[in-house]
Amino acid sequence: MFFMFGESSGQVELWRMVTSIPFVLFAVAPIALLCFVPLYRDAQLIAAVPIAAFGIWAYYETIYVAAPDAQSALVFAFAPFWQFVLAGIALAIIAIGDRLLRSWK
């Protein structure tokens, strides 16, 4: 059928999977940033959970709940951007807390 370009007999073609890799990496990068910076792991986990939940909520609302809109795809650009902002703020707070704790010892 003409509207099923890229799919054949229910299987996604390899080129679609390969071209989606940069988007998946961009979506996962804010949480990976919190996981790979070596500060306080517990504090980073506590910060990563709500930031990841925000991203999951934004994607779910856009894909399944909201009415179809031409601008809905922008969530794939702006949700990771705002997650990066929140992760940066969380890392800054954790780093400042680390400095304060070290100075009090």
Residue 13 lies in a domain: no
Residue 5 lies in a domain: no
Q: Containing H/E element for 11?
A: strand 11-12
Residue 16 lies in a domain: no
Residue 100 lies in a domain: yes
Q: What pTM, to 2 d.p., does this model score? A: 0.74
Residue 92 lies in a domain: yes
On the question of pLDDT at 2 being above 70, the answer is no
- Which residue range is the domain that position 75 belongs to? 30-104
Domain tally, the chain: 1
Q: Tell which wins on pLDDT, 105 or 94.
A: 94
**pLDDT (mean) for 64-80:** 87
Q: Containing H/E element for 8?
A: strand 7-8
Q: State pLDDT tens for residues 9-64.
A: 566 677 777 888 888 888 888 888 888 877 777 888 888 999 999 999 998 999 88
Number of Cβ within a 10 Å radius of residue 28: 15
